[in-house]
Structure 1
């Protein structure tokens, strides 16, 4: 178990900055959080205000740790801990339910690096990691019938998980309810009575609703796009999406085959408790909209754990068949090591690529106003995650400058871009550009963005992996840095290199 938890850290050891899609944008916010009180540049461009909301996990951890060891090392340390805690939670849950670890649990562990994590939903991923650990404790205390102790402990635990991210708290509630419903049914109660008793037990997790109501009164972001079945199917088959389409799809297919094998094999079965838990999560996935409180892909984030819980449910029907167990152990371990190796290689490739792209910032002075434009592939051509989509956030991290990749989500974000001259080029997705041949409404074609951004509001234009573009649209701008897939232009006549101090 210790080896499997440690193995979960391996893919993130090499990259100096975890190359997760949204993380670099979040890191810009962390820099403002840490230094807006002392930086004259950050004060000019941003406003930051702490508020109570269900989306604060990594932000709160960065505050002390960033001051102690620096922002970038702090982020790396926190992000490495997330898949390790996720794996530890999965193993604890499996052991509490099966009273031992079936070899097939190793099929579930790669989902710690599912699409939700690689996309950089770090507050959500942290909340789910804590929810899984809390669920292991919930099951243990329930098995020992220490209900009063459990109720007392899970009031503060529910607030902790909710503060990290609302979705993780909601997931913990579903896990606790489904497990207790099955436990009560196994003790001879009917399903209706079991569900009622389970709801009463899970009610100790409900107090953060008061914080949620206050948050919603202050805005809290929008909720929309219900029952988008095309998007939900996309969320299913991209559950292990990383870089190599065929391998990622084959990996998902292998887990589906393992689940079917367990269903039809006479010596294998599925735990009723974990199967019911997976079905409850699947129902939530079907019912949730794409956007909740301004957070996108709300339904997609559940899918890795729907699959993981089905896989964690696999067990031997009666006594262990050691010949079959050895075969399953070898296959499962091979799968786990192969997925770990592929994610490690993928993140290393992304880290090397980002290191090249970030070299352009060495030519940018402190406090500069930088328009970042990042090319994204057409949907029908791209599979690899566009990990540079929020690379502009590093302008804030390393140069305390203005960038245009932060999210506009009133009531659901701590940071606000207050630099009015940038207009609609203040927020995401203004940093994303596409080839005009892509049949998409968003993002804008690269030449449209180059022709329409407010030149007086920026000092530099930083193009990352752009499609073919017309440099004449930049007029007399000077190309001061060029590398593989990266161009940095200084606009002329040059704007002031930085706002005045004081």
Structure 2
């Protein structure tokens, strides 16, 4: 089933593992993100709103009246740190786009480099893993997580390279800061690197003839340079536990959800096609396990097995962080795919498989490019409303969305946060959870009109229990607490008239902006609202929400 980690003969050499071709494949991963002015990732506007607060002048009305930003260690700061120099050089929106644009190429480079180190050359079947650079967690907008995972894959390739060269002392010294860097970026990247490195070292010991129990011990000892972040994590969880109370782990062995998450690894727009592509990858892995036509490299095959065990054991909510297991699903498939190599060394067969894999990758990129352009155009139509909002205003937002279980989504869940980015406004719906966020709410409207998911508007049949509804939320709106009401993507057929609200912008088919008339602001605007004590947060990633799959 698994071929030796150090095979006696290299896979065939050809255009599919030449330097120019691999560089082209890495650079091509950026193509879908080039055209959109703002990457159409679901949670990205929410992150961008936080970054606007982060880089704003502390004396600005945005920081004085509405939001604070308190620096401290979290195992979830990758893009929060990277945006500081990028925003200074390019501005917030372009700077963030450039950061996001680098994540898929980094992921592609990590996959190809890892395959090269394990096999000696990149094998044709490994190219089938490249579409997973646009996995569902990335499209959902888990930025710090995706950034950390892309770095972790490249770090694992470096780990394999230094081990192959026998430079173990250098590796031990290098991976102390690398482990800390990954932990600061996002805890998941460090954890996955630990699992992959442990699997590789156990296989290395077994290939030397070491008995199983001794291999496990030696493999763990070889990874000791990755242990220092544990001290940071203990300090982080102790500090966050004091702030938000009991840490929650929930939904263990939720098998139906785990199955759906595996099917959703390439979820984008086309349900039948996306699932068929995932089944194709699983079929290749199944052939590799059975030794039919392809076989698996021992190092990467065992690493994929370790990730699968971790995926099975992970709960849906870990340390208050939702979708913990879902995030790992695409990487189980990716590592299993790059573990594959053809049993035959016939060059024309390798060329044929490489051509099919390249076509598969190019097709996914083309469809994603068109899909991202469509979402970018839809976002731009709704963002026209911002031209009618005064700077430093207070905006109540409700984004009309589809049911969470629907395959294709509008990805407008947090589009309202662009009011913070472009107008320095307050809007309901930001994440501000102690122990998981550096953002702090200073302005707290009454009746939970301040935080996520008050901006989420789904059909009644699938609405969230803690989300507000339409038109009830607008009718009950504390008029003195807001200056505008922005109903994003709300269909024209259900627009309504509300006392004290004057429409000042409407989209062609969906979306409407109301202004709260001064004579109806019957609640006084406080000078400097007090900071409201927050309830315990949901996790180490600001995109987490306790929604059911």
1:328 aligns with 2:349: no
Residue aligning to 1:259 = 285
Cα offsets for 1:323-368 (capped at 9, x unmatched): 3212211211111011111111111111111111111001001001
> Does the aligned pair in 1 maintain the 2:43–2:140 contact within 8 Å?
yes
CA distance in 2, matches of 1:439, 1:488: 22
Residue aligning to 2:537 = none
Cα offsets for 1:253-276 (capped at 9, x unmatched): 222222234445644211111111
TM-score of the superposed pair, with normalisation by structure 1: 0.95
Cα offsets for 1:417-469 (capped at 9, x unmatched): 12122441211111001222436535443223223332221111111123664
Residue aligning to 1:233 = 259
Residue aligning to 1:158 = 179
CA distance in 2, matches of 1:209, 1:286: 23
1:355 aligns with 2:380: yes
Cα offsets for 1:75-106 (capped at 9, x unmatched): 00000111111110101100000000111112
Residue aligning to 1:270 = 296
Give the secondary structure class of the aligned counterpart of 2:457: strand
**Equivalent residue pairs, number:** 498
Partner of residue 52 from structure 2, selected from 24, 28, 31: 31
> Does the aligned pair in 1 maintain the 2:480–2:525 contact within 8 Å?
no
> Does the aligned pair in 1 maintain the 2:41–2:138 contact within 8 Å?
yes
CA RMSD of aligned residues (A): 2.0
Partner of residue 401 from structure 1, selected from 406, 425, 430: 425
CA distance in 2, matches of 1:385, 1:259: 29
Partner of residue 313 from structure 1, selected from 332, 335, 339: 339
Residue aligning to 2:140 = 119
CA distance in 2, matches of 1:439, 1:155: 46
Residue aligning to 1:279 = 305
TM-score of the superposed pair, with normalisation by structure 2: 0.87
Partner of residue 436 from structure 2, selected from 412, 425, 444: 412
Give the secondary structure class of the aligned counterpart of 2:365: helix
Give the secondary structure class of the aligned counterpart of 1:466: strand
Residue aligning to 1:292 = 318
CA distance in 2, matches of 1:384, 1:189: 50
Residue aligning to 1:69 = 90
Higher mean C-alpha displacement, 341-350 vs 249-258? 249-258
> Does the aligned pair in 2 maintain the 1:367–1:499 contact within 8 Å?
no
Give the secondary structure class of the aligned counterpart of 1:461: strand
> Does the aligned pair in 2 maintain the 1:56–1:163 contact within 8 Å?
yes
1:427 aligns with 2:451: yes
> Does the aligned pair in 2 maintain the 1:294–1:412 contact within 8 Å?
no
Give the secondary structure class of the aligned counterpart of 1:204: helix
1:397-476 correspondence to structure 2 within 5 Å: 397-438=421-462, 441-466=465-490, 469=494, 471-472=496-497, 474-476=498-500
Cα offsets for 1:273-313 (capped at 9, x unmatched): 11111111111111112223333211110001000011001
CA distance in 2, matches of 1:40, 1:258: 56
Residue aligning to 1:197 = 218
1:374 aligns with 2:395: no
Higher mean C-alpha displacement, 333-342 vs 486-495? 486-495
Higher mean C-alpha displacement, 302-311 vs 212-221? 212-221
Residue aligning to 2:362 = 337
Cα offsets for 1:159-184 (capped at 9, x unmatched): 00000001111111111101111111
> Does the aligned pair in 2 maintain the 1:241–1:385 contact within 8 Å?
no
1:392 aligns with 2:413: no
Give the secondary structure class of the aligned counterpart of 2:318: coil
Using the TM superposition, give the Cα deviation of residue 410 of structure 1 relative to its aligned residue in structure 2, in angstroms.
1.5
What runs of 5+ residues in structure 2 fail to find an aligned partner? 1-21, 529-549
CA distance in 2, matches of 1:260, 1:321: 22
Residue aligning to 2:32 = 11
Give the secondary structure class of the aligned counterpart of 1:340: helix
Give the secondary structure class of the aligned counterpart of 1:421: coil
